[in-house]
Amino acid sequence: MKKWFFLFAPPDWARRAWTRRKSRDAAAAWLFLAPSAAGFALFYLIPFAMGVMYSFRSGASGGRFAGLANYRELLASDSFRKAASNTFYFSAASVPFMLALSLGLALLLNRQIYFRKWLRASYVLPLVVPVASVLVIWQLIFDWNGALNYALSRFGIDRVDWMKTEAARYVVLAVYLWKNVGYNVILFLAGLQQIPRDYYETAQIEGAGRFRQFYGITLVYLTSTTFFVVIMSILNSFKVFRETYLLAGDYPHDSIYMLQHYMNNMFASLDIQKLTAAAVLMVGVIMAIVLGLFGLERRYRQFME
Amino acid sequence: MAVRKGLLTAGLGMIGLLLLLPIAITFTHSLMTEQELTIDYGPIGQRTEATETGADTFVNLKWLPDKVTLEQYGKLLVYTPNYLLMFWNSAGLVVPIIVGQTAVAALAAYAFAKLKFRGRDSLFLAYLLAMLMPFQVTLVPNYIMADKLGLLHRPGAVILPGVFAAFGVFMLRQFMLHIPYAYIEAAKMDGAGHLRIFLTIILPMVKSGMAALVVLLFVDYWNMVEQPLIFLDDPFKQPLSVFLSRLTGEWGTVFAASMLYMSPMLLLFLYAETYFIQGVQWSGIKG
């Protein structure tokens, strides 16, 4: 009677499974998953597994098992250490900064204001502007002879070569914030609007101050939104590489030399061992961070309930 | 109260204007003549002895053109046939990726969000990690894979990994989590199969999510530079993003080229703004 389940005649193993709902779901699930999973395996999983393999070998083709030699060499390399620490510190500094800034703006936008829709749209518009389109603007602003230095000189401040000194970090940070702050503001704003008004009223009656309300209600109810924003912000903090790369090329100033630069350059010099070892380490660290975040979210939600 | 409301609006408005500034500057500069730009921005990129000693070589941003002209656009569209070719190349890469990824991801997201199967959580974790990885992580194996599949130096080498990228699955799953199981149970009672449920109940309910996904994918892939640089060696098959990144310094056309390049994105955004924002909003709230 339940022939609707498959578009075509169900195979035997599926027919047997019909008695139990769970496995019926599972069969359907794999049908829905099939196109995605096949492509995902072909273009992501298998390549990554191949990468892991290469990272333990002494040469790409016909190499022998080399144990941890590639990793040892990698960790001893100055340029890798520089790239890894730059990437780590950039994300570690920019993500919390981004969180604070976008939450702050969202709280303000959530107050009584005019033109909320227009403001929201103008905040998110930079997101859709292609990187290559505004490169020339960044050059005009951050060049040695550029507009920012002009403005500084008006106040008697010495000019800075923004792209070729330590200051390059702040340029990358500024570009990252410019592009992504609106997206996070929208996410937080949506989260804020989900919190029932009467929670605050009750808290007020019970004599809770503004900070108490913020910590006790706002932050608690924003947990899952924050989790999502953090994931997206990490993702976007890696994506800002594209801007850096287009602005400063393969070898930018040391302070913004990222893991992606390193891996690109290893690819260019055909050093497959170091490249794959670096990739494996990076995946490991990101996995640890993601699992940590999941654990944190779960514990936080249990605490909430 | 009204005063406070006004002040707050003004303050937030200033930030909004600041964020819009790069777009506005690109637009006004695209209407300037080459001479005007060369004279105004000549010193850009020149750090010479003279500038070290503090001579005044600064350029200031100019807001409005002295003389409004469409010269740049004309030059670009008439004398640079490559530009249109690259524009076409970009579209040829981006459209299949968006259509493909949205379709493939919608199916997979349904399985992840609404069906139970063994290994679901660990497979999803793999998707999530793949989504967070920079493109360089699987660069070498991907290159070898493309070579083995005979895709190297063909658009497929860029398109196929895009179609199967994990981002769409992540986003659409996020939306489908909101849909109560009750809808699905009710449809099952009425004798609907999973495919019917998916097509007639789930898809219409995640419309805004799909809109947001399409915009975000468009943004991301309209922007791509590294993939085509590595997988497509023929300069005439490169998308506009690669072409444009080499154009900086050519004051004659760069602003008009940038403006034309971002215009599809801006138009799409203005057209789908409500859906897009709604979609982004829903993606961050847990059901």
Selected residues 239-298 of chain A with any CB under 8 Å from a CB in chain B: 239, 241-242, 245-246, 259-260, 263-264, 267, 272, 275-276, 279, 282-283, 286-287, 290-291
Mean pLDDT taken over chain B: 85
The separation between the first and the last C-alpha atoms of chain B, rounded to the nearest angstrom, is 35
B127 in a structural domain = yes
Domain with B130 in it: what CATH number? 1.10.3720.10
Interval B246-258: pLDDT, tens: 765 567 788 888 8
pLDDT at A173: 92
pLDDT bin (cut points 50, 70, 90) of residue B277 is: confident
pLDDT at B47: 65
Interface test with A, best of B139, B148, B269 (most A CBs within 10 A): B139
Contact (CB<8Å) A134/B258: yes
CB contact A35 to B (< 8 Å): yes
Residue A85 has pLDDT above 60, yes or no: yes
Most confident among A117-121, A208-212, A218-222, B101-105 (mean pLDDT):
B101-105
Domain count, chain B: 1
- pLDDT-wise least confident of A22-26, A221-225, B179-183: A22-26
Q: Which residues from A are below 8 Å from B7, CB to CB?
A: none
pLDDT at A4: 36
Nearest to A225 among B130, B198, B285 (CB): B285
With a pLDDT cut of 90, the percent of chain A lying above it is 29
Residue A201 has pLDDT above 80, yes or no: yes
CB contact B23 to A (< 8 Å): yes
Mean pLDDT taken over chain A: 84
Residue A305 has pLDDT above 70, yes or no: no
The residues spanned by each domain of chain A are: 3-55, 77-304
Which CATH architecture is the domain A77-304 placed in? Orthogonal Bundle (1.10)
Contact (CB<8Å) A113/B8: yes
Are B59 and A147 in contact by the 8 Å Cβ rule? The answer is yes
B164 in a structural domain = yes
Interval A236-275: pLDDT, tens: 898 888 888 888 878 888 889 999 999 989 988 888 888 8
pLDDT at A178: 92
B174 in a structural domain = yes
pLDDT at A19: 47
DSSP string covering chain B, please? Answer: -HHHHHHHHHHHHHHHHHHHHHHHHHHHHTTS-HHHHHHHHTTTT---HHHHTT---------S-SS---HHHHIIIII-HHHHHHHHHHHHHHHHHHHHHHHHHHHHHHHHHH---TTHHHHHHHHHHHHHS-GGGGHHHHHHHHHHTT-TTSTHHHHHHHHT-SHHHHHHHHHHTTS-HHHHHHHHHTT--HHHHIIIIIHHHTHHHHHHHHHHHHHHHHT--HHHHHH---GGG--HHHHHHT-TT-TTTHHHHHHHHHHHHHHHHHHHHHHHHHHHHHHTS--
B10 in a structural domain = no
Q: Who wins on pLDDT, A284 or B240?
A: A284
Q: Which residues from A are below 8 Å from B41, CB to CB?
A: 140
Residue A125 has pLDDT above 70, yes or no: yes
Interval B36-63: pLDDT, tens: 877 777 777 666 655 565 556 677 777 7
